[in-house]
Amino acid sequence: MTKILQGFNFSTNRFYIFAAYPKNIILKILRVILSSFLIASLFACNQPKLAEESKINSREVWVTMLVEIPAGTVDKYELNKTNSQIERDSIDGEPRTINYLGYPANYGMIRETVLPYELGGDGDPLDIISIGPPAKIGETIDSKIIGVLKLKDNGEQDDKLIGINRNSSLNGVNSLQELDEKYPGISTIIETWFTYYKGKGMMVSSGYKDKNTAEEIYSTAKQSF
């Protein structure tokens, strides 16, 4: 074998080294080399996408929300847009109480925002669900946007931004994907609650959209105010 390889260049030497092995071994070696090449190529192609996703997930957009209904409570309060006071909501003169489990997170609105009907909104300030310790009615808290829950209330678009309180133990979370990975079940609980708290068939969910979509909705609502 040594005599055969003498006088040949490197690439030819490699050919004769392979030729010394059985055909089935050579095929296995070639498959490994080809698989490694394909994996490396796919990884290289995905690098720009992965870098962009990492950039989006690490970006933080904070908003100041006005708490209308604290986490864990069932009494319905909302901002009176005429006098800017938070008042007990009522139906036919009776104070409104949610006939369901208490709110799974702090619920409220973002001041100086409005999403008109023609832009897919309901004409009101943006609603936001903020995950964290229960706040007080009328308290303003900082909340980091991580996504949006797409809902319809009796056929009318009624999206809810999803945020994380600044003082929450979960405030290291920067996206819905990260929330699901680190704290599985939370997003499911929130979606289930808002789908059924008014009764079966009243609210319809089309699922969550990512932080980028939520930020676009917020930006549009700020500009429309």
Residue 52 in this model has a pLDDT that exceeds 60: no
Q: Which CATH architecture has domain 62-224?
A: Alpha-Beta Complex (3.90)
pLDDT, average across residues 77-97: 93
Q: Give the Cβ contact number of residue 135 at 10 Å.
A: 23
Residue 50 in this model has a pLDDT that exceeds 80: no
SS3 82: coil
Burial (CB count within 10 angstroms: exposed 0-12, middle 13-18, buried 19+), residue 89: middle
Query: What is the rounded CA–CA span in Å between residue 98 and residue 68?
Result: 14
Cα pseudo-dihedral 12, 13, 17, 23, rounded to 10: 0
| Residue linked to tokens 């995950």 | 131
Domain boundaries, the chain: 2-58, 62-224
Burial (CB count within 10 angstroms: exposed 0-12, middle 13-18, buried 19+), residue 223: exposed
- 54 versus 170: which is more confidently predicted? 170
